[in-house]
Chains A and B, each alone.
Chain A
Amino acid sequence: MMEQVYLAIPLAPLVAALLAGLAGKWIGRTGAHVVTIVGVAMALVLSLFVFKGQVFDGSPRYNATVYTWLVSDGLSMQVGFLIDHLTALMMVVVTFVSLMVHIYTIGYMHDDPGYQRFFSYISLFTFAMLMLVMSNNFLQLFFGWEAVGLVSYLLIGFWFTRPSAIFANMKAFLVNRVGDLGFLLGIAGVVYYTGSLAYSDAFQAAPEIVKHSMVLLNGYAWNAMTVICICLFIGAMGKSAQVPLHVWLPDSMEGPTPISALIHAATMVTAGIFMVARMSPLFELSPTALSVVLVIGATTALFMGFLGMVANDIKRVVAYSTLSQLGYMTVALGVSAYSAAIFHLMTHAFFKALLFLGAGSVIVAMHHEQDMRRMGGLRKYLPITYVTSLLGALALIGFPGFSGFFSKDALIEAVGESHAIGAGYAQVCVTAGVFITAFYTFRMIFMTFHGKERMDEHTRAHLHESPWVVTLPLILLAIPSVLVGWFTVGPVLFGGFFDGVITVAPSHDVLGHLGRSFEGPWPFLCEAFRAPTLYLAAAGVALAWFLYLKRPELPEKITARLGPILAVLEHKYGFDWFNQQVLAGGSRLLGYGFWRIGDEWLIDGTLVNGSAKTVGWLAGVARRFQSGYLYHYAFVMIIGLAGVLAWFLWQA
């Protein structure tokens, strides 16, 4: 009976996606959103049912095959489900945010000619994401991984007549493919050492894998587990947009806002975080790999936050914030605080989806204006959007009691407890990041909703709150953004929620260490007043208030003084330049050189046509000997005769 439920959860959105996509013309706009919303709602209800069974009724974890995809050489590749606490939590988060986005889309995409197509895509995405999180093996994980990438590609390029959109979607796909290459090699490594693609076999064989080493370059042997884990993490860096594979995420904002919320904030980009947490039995055995994870995450958390401080496009601010928060989650993974990473993933899914959808509501009200310099004072016109966005912002900066507070504070404390290589650097990054986060978040809130109204008259005259299909999801997302942390911090982080799912070596168990002094959410909250992070956040908000509300003329002056630093930030540290000029340009140049010189000049010109010409030339020369004129032949005969005679005479 449960098998059918598990199967129905991803298939319901898939069927809905096919209906809306292939039969969109016949079922119409209403038909398309009804069928997809029903599909996703079904998935949500069933996911909640599964969650209840797993978490409250103590159902055993489920690990079984749906069908065997392929068998070769004794290697059985299957499609199957693994249902445990981690999966159940992810399923609920994915289907809940997806449902909210579906409803929101009715309002947001109301006038778009691609209405049915859009619903088809987001439902298809829900299917792919569920396949990813529910997988019990690497094959299906990779399928889900690439399938969400495909839908992301289709959705970033949804407005396919815009040059920037179709550039951004190709960029996203290719950068992700770089990560996927690492991911694929990691999977190949697992198969090599375990002979299986199933998670359970890999986890079981993990202690054996550590005993192997690989010589990749002459002289230095790498531990096999380190190689596998770093390769897998390269995949996570692509999907979860970690430096230097982060470049695609800001550009992905070219897609419609609902998908920025669903795919590029709440769900798909967290797939890498989820994957590493899922693979904790492997990563725990490689401190080297964990330190790599830690340093990359810390770098992303801080340096992407800086970019959020100077962006003026409202969606880009939220996008850089997402990058930075993904960095936080990655840091948590690096210090073996996997539960904290998943906890932050969950709270972030709610408040970041909320912030994106709030930004979308603003953008619609502003007639698709995204530049915050032309906004201001919107709280009067968009009260619900304002309040919900403010709640989301408070959750994001870790306002005491809000969901983001619990997840971020626990995460930062976990970093403080860690003795991993790189933990000191990470602590500086994540602590400074708190100030940065508070600053850019409230800079956005102030520039958008407070202060002088800087839009033109026409826009101002048409400002009004969005319809209920837009505000309802905002409200429904605001509730967990505020409350979910309070109720779940105890059980999820310190209550053994992930026992038997996530493995942590005793020597790395920072959360276990913190858990010994945890006495419930209220003392945890009081404790925060003694830590510097809270005051850093307050300082960030205060600075934003001072610069953008109190003395709005100041930022311009500061900008003028900080020319070089600003230039670095505005060029986003030069990653785009390097990728486009050196990597893409270099590849094209190399390809062109190979083609013109290798194929056309050397092989075709010299060898193939050259040998044909040589034959032609030889034949041409040989032909001269057969002119057909008798006197030529007679002349040659006489010469020959004379030669032979001369020879004989000479001999004699």
Chain B
Amino acid sequence: MNFPFLSALTWFPVFGGVLVMCLGDRRATQARWLALCIAVITLMASVPLYLGFDTHSAALQFNEQLAWIPGLHSTYHLGVDGISLPLILLTTFSTILVLIAGWTRIEKRPAQYVAAFLIMEGLMIGVFAAADALLFYVFWEAMLLPMFIIIGVWGGARRVYATLKFFLYTFLGSVLMLVALIYLYLKSGSYDLAALVQLPLGLQQQTLIFLAFFAAFAVKVPMVPVHTWLPDAHVEAPTGGSVILAAIMLKMGGYGFLRFSLPITPDASRELAWLVIGLSLVAVVYIGLVALVQRDMKKLIAYSSIAHMGFVTLGCFLAFSIVAATGHALGATLALSGAMVQMISHGLVSGALFLCVGVLYDRMHTRDIAAYGGVVNTMPIFSAFMVLFGMANAGLPGTSGFVGEFMVVLAAFHANFWFALVAGMTLILGAAYTLWLIKRVVFGAVANDQVAALSDVNGREFFVLAVSAVAVLALGIYPRPLTELMEPTLRHLLSLMMISKL
């Protein structure tokens, strides 16, 4: 395996995107087909990554290391382990869906639109593959630009406000992360992640570094109270932007916690675990209640995303609480694994729900829940998909939405009965906001003439939703391949978290 798969996955879509852009908006059809081909090739290139991955090893695999900025001791170092591989696969998978979903719907600058998604795909893969902190930071910031443009150019009426809010929020967090990274570089003389993980740090240093990381990752997840950019960004973003935002970009926060905060600052993570766990539980209940009263479908799903991502952050930090409560780490890997599964599942489910909203929006040009009602009468196939994804969002067993939540709740019981109880509230709240949405939009008699005139999904939309449905069900019925892939990496991560650096 000498072929540089990771570089190919990173740069092929980026250069492909540039090529598509060069093709120009006047040759829209060619541009779309070219973009789709590029995305499909990228997906196919990610398959050998999965097949060739050694699931018994926690080490970085498919390593590539080249000199990059010798003056700063930063190298071009890529590699994947059990944490990053599933997220890369999710990225290559979601990008194709987004390109197909937006096929004829985007009329303004179509070539630039698809090019932006390709470039973003490459950069996001770069984030997950980077094993050098500076390289990671470059990808992390670069990735913002295509999304900034996607919301700002193809977004809704308040797109400028939303895109600025999105950019400033995330940028502010990232800058603090950069400060922390520079500090770590000055201490260790290297940007290589492996070296940073080994670097001994005092508790005060760790705490400051942790908080700087926390600013970056908490905004990205997003955690309460720095979550308000997400509903605005989702509402204004075009369907494809929402899908990528929900499916991949939010995962950057969880990934950051797993990759940076936990192994680099284990003692500070332990000391501040109460903060993260507390905010995660607040996310489940507070955001769940806020989601209940939303009138805009996208906003509702955006809030639901925040509540679901609460399980990710909860799972990431439960380990410390479990050790404090029981004296051993049994259940901690379950929590980490649950957090990862929840990230993948949320990517699939909320992505699919945004696609569903997109299907409706394309026809009715409104996201207002009150404008709908009785969609099932005119769009039965679509409604079946929407109910399926709604059930997955409500964590029904047999769908992917159940797996991660189940694992995290089981693990939470090891730490504290009340953690499990509060987290488990999602069973009720998640079902309440999702089913109420479905009741008002899908079920009932035909509400008005626009609904009466709706036509059911076309072949293209059917394909996108069906592929998502298969993925959601497959992960729900047989999640073992996914957890098997991650287990050694997560065990290794846990051992790093448990070793004090003091």
B417 at the interface (CB under 8 A from A): yes
CA distance in complex: A369, B457 (Å): 38
* Chain B residue contacts of A147, Cβ below 8 A: 396-398
Closest residue of chain B to A186, judged by CB? B413
Q: Which of B41-49, B62-70, B132-140, B421-429 contacts A (4 or more CB under 8 A)?
A: B421-429
Q: Is the CB of A71 within 8 A of B483?
A: yes
A254 cross-chain contacts in B, Cβ below 8 A: none
The number of inter-chain residue pairs (CB within 8 angstroms) is 142
Contact in complex: B334, A170 (CB < 8 Å): no
Considering the complex, give the chain B residue whose CB is closest to the CB of A160. B443
Does A491 reach chain B (CB closer than 8 Å)?
no
- Stretch in A98-106, A472-480, A541-549, A593-601 with 4+ CB within 8 Å of B: A593-601
Q: Is A187's CB within 8 Å of the partner chain B?
A: yes
Q: Interface with B: A83-91, A401-409, A432-440, A583-591, which one?
A: A583-591
Contact in complex: A69, B409 (CB < 8 Å):
no
A586 to chain B, nearest CB (A): 10
- Contacting pair A216 B417 (CB below 8 A): yes
Confirm or deny: A465 has a beta carbon within 8 angstroms of a beta carbon on chain B: no
Taken residue by residue from 628 to 639, chain A's Cβ proximity to chain B (1 for < 8 Å, 0 otherwise) reads as 000000000000
| Interface residues on chain A, size class | 35 or more
B427: chain A residues at CB < 8 Å are 177, 180-181, 184
B420 within 8 A of A: yes
Nearest B residue to A157 by beta-carbon distance?
Answer: B443
B135-173 interface mask toward A, CB cutoff 8 Å, 1 = contact, 0 = none?
Answer: 000000000000000000000000000000100010000
Given A71-B484, A72-B483, A146-B397, also A189-B413 (CB < 8 A): yes
Q: Provide the main secondary structure of the chain B interface.
A: helix
B331 at the interface (CB under 8 A from A): yes
- B365: CB under 8 A from chain A? no
Contact of B420 with A188 in the complex, beta carbons under 8 Å: yes
A-side contacts of B435, CB under 8 Å: 153, 170, 173-174
Residue B72, interface by CB 8 Å: no
Known contacts A591-B293, A603-B225; A70 and B403 CB within 8 A of each other: yes
Q: Mark B325-336, 1 if CB is under 8 A from A, else 0.
A: 000001111100
Within 8 A of A (CB), among B369-399: 374, 376-377, 387, 391, 396-398
| Cβ–Cβ < 8 Å partners of A153 in chain B | 435
Inter-chain CA distance A604–B377, complex, in Å, is 39
**Interface flags, B445-486, vs A, CB<8A=1, else 0:** 110000000000000000000000000000001111001100
A residues within 8 A CB of B432? 174, 177, 587
Q: Does B264 contact A (CB under 8 A)?
A: no
Query: Is B479 a contact partner of A69 (Cβ separation < 8 A)?
Result: yes
**A185–B330 touching, CB < 8 Å:** no
B292 and A591 contacting across the interface, CB-CB below 8 Å: yes
CB of A73 within 8 A of CB of B330, answer yes
Residue of B nearest to A72 (CB): B337
Question: Could you say which of B331, B376, B409, B444 contacts A73, with CB atoms under 8 Å apart?
Answer: B331
Known: A73-B330, A73-B337, A185-B421. A608 touches B228 (CB 8 A): yes
| Minimum CB–CB distance for A393 against chain B, Å | 36
A180 CA to B411 CA, complexed, in Å = 17
- Interface residues in B290-317 by Cβ distance below 8 A to A read 290-294
A603 contacts B228, C-beta separation under 8 Å: yes
Q: A71, B445: Cβ atoms under 8 Å?
A: no
Q: Is the CB of B413 within 8 A of A160?
A: no
Using known A-B contacts A71-B483, A72-B407, A188-B409, determine if residue A177 contacts B431 with beta carbons closer than 8 Å. Answer: yes
In this complex, what residue of A is CB-closest to B337? A72
With both beta carbons as reference points, the residue of chain B lying nearest to A604 in the complex is identified as: B228
Query: B289 an interface residue at 8 Å Cβ cutoff?
Result: yes
Q: Which of B374, B444, B479 contacts A70 (CB 8 A)?
A: B479
B361 close to A (CB within 8 Å): no
Distance (whole angstroms) from the CB of A24 to the closest CB of chain B: 11
Does A425 sit at the interface, judged by CB under 8 A? Answer: no
| A161 interface residue (CB < 8 Å to B) | yes
B480 and A184 form a contact (CB under 8 A): no
* Complex contact B334–A73 (CB within 8 A): yes
In the complex, the answer to whether B428 meets A178 with C-beta atoms within 8 Å is yes
The residue in A67, A72, A594, A607 that gathers the most chain B C-beta atoms within 10 A of its C-beta is A72
* Residue B414 is within 8 A (CB to CB) of chain A in the complex: yes
B286–A598 CB distance below 8 A: yes
* Residues of A close to B50: CB separation below 8 A: none
B418 to A, closest residue via Cβ: A216
B487 at the A interface (CB under 8 A): yes
Chain A interface helix/strand/loop/mixed = helix
Q: Taking the nearest CB of chain B, how far is it from the CB of A295, in angstroms?
A: 23
Judge if B96 is at the interface, Cβ distance under 8 Å: no
The answer, yes or no, to whether B439 is at the interface (CB within 8 Å) is: yes
B445:A161 contact, CB within 8 angstroms: yes
Q: What A residues does B398 contact at CB under 8 A?
A: 143, 146-147
**Residue A75 is within 8 A (CB to CB) of chain B in the complex:** yes
B411: chain A residues within 8 A (beta carbon):
73
Chain B residues with CB below 8 A from A191, complex form:
410, 413
The distance in angstroms between the C-alpha atoms of A587 and B431, with both chains bound, is 13
A594 lies within 8 A of B286 (CB): yes
B403 near A185 with CB under 8 A, answer: no
A153 to B420, CA, bound (A): 26
- The answer to whether A617 has its CB under 8 Å from any CB of chain B is no
Q: A178-B428, A180-B427, A185-B413 are in contact. Are A72 and B334 (CB under 8 A)?
A: yes
Chain B residues positioned under 8 Å from A599 (CB to CB): 228, 290
How far, in whole Å, are A157 and B444 apart by their CA atoms in the complex? 9
Contact with A along B170-200 (1 / 0, CB 8 A): 0000000000000000000000000000000
Across-interface contacts of A71 in B (CB, < 8 A)? 480, 483-484, 487
Contact in complex: A72, B289 (CB < 8 Å):
no
**Chain B proximity mask over A152-172: 1 for CB below 8 Å, otherwise 0:** 011001001101001100100
Q: Is the CB of B417 within 8 A of A174?
A: no
- Would you give the shortest CB distance from B110 to chain A, in whole angstroms? 34
Taken together as a complex, chains A and B put the C-alpha atoms of A539 and B40 apart, in Å, by 77
Docked CA distance A143–B411 (Å): 19
Q: Are A143 and B397 in contact (CB under 8 A)?
A: yes
Interface centre among B403, B409, B427 (most CB of A within 10 A): B427
Interface residue? A150 (CB, 8 A): yes
A552 on the B face (CB < 8 A)? no
At the interface, yes or no: A221 with Cβ under 8 Å from chain B? no
B window 204-254: CB within 8 A of A: 225, 228
Measured CA separation A166–B225 after assembly (Å): 35
| Residue A142 is within 8 A (CB to CB) of chain B in the complex | yes
Q: Are B290 and A595 in contact (CB under 8 A)?
A: yes
> Does chain B have a CB within 8 A of A62?
no
Cβ of A451 under 8 Å from chain B: no
B291 contact set on A, CB distance < 8 A? 591
- Give CA–CA (A69, B417) in the complex, Å: 25
Cα distance A150–B438 when bound, in Å? 14
B 263-294 contacts with A by CB, 8 A: 286, 288-294
Q: Are A185 and B420 within 8 A (Cβ)? A: yes
The answer to whether B396 touches A587, judged by C-beta atoms less than 8 angstroms apart, is no
B446: A residues at CB distance < 8 A: 161
The smallest C-beta distance from A413 to any residue of chain B, in angstroms, reads: 39
User: Does A535 belong to the interface (CB within 8 Å)?
Assistant: no
Name A602's closest neighbour in chain B (CB-CB): B225
Are the C-beta atoms of A181 and B424 separated by less than 8 Å? yes
Q: Shortest beta-carbon distance, A572 to chain B, in Å?
A: 22
Instruction: Assess whether A592 is interfacial by the CB under 8 Å rule.
Output: yes
Give a binary string over A223-241; 1 marks a CB under 8 Å from any B CB, 0 the rest.
0000100000000000000
- 19 new A-B contacts, CB < 8 A, other than A146-B397, A154-B387, are A68-B480, A69-B477, A69-B479, A70-B403, A70-B407, A70-B479, A71-B484, A142-B406, A150-B391, A160-B443, A161-B374, A166-B444, A173-B435, A174-B431, A181-B428, A188-B412, A191-B410, A591-B293, A592-B293
A to B CB contacts below 8 Å, 27 in the list: A72-B487, A73-B330, A73-B332, A160-B376, A161-B443, A163-B445, A166-B444, A167-B439, A173-B431, A174-B428, A174-B431, A181-B425, A181-B428, A184-B427, A187-B410, A191-B410, A192-B410, A587-B289, A587-B292, A587-B432, A588-B293, A594-B289, A598-B286, A599-B228, A599-B290, A603-B225, A608-B169
**Complex A-B, nearest 3 residue pairs according to Cβ-Cβ distance, in ascending order:** A591-B289, A188-B413, A73-B334
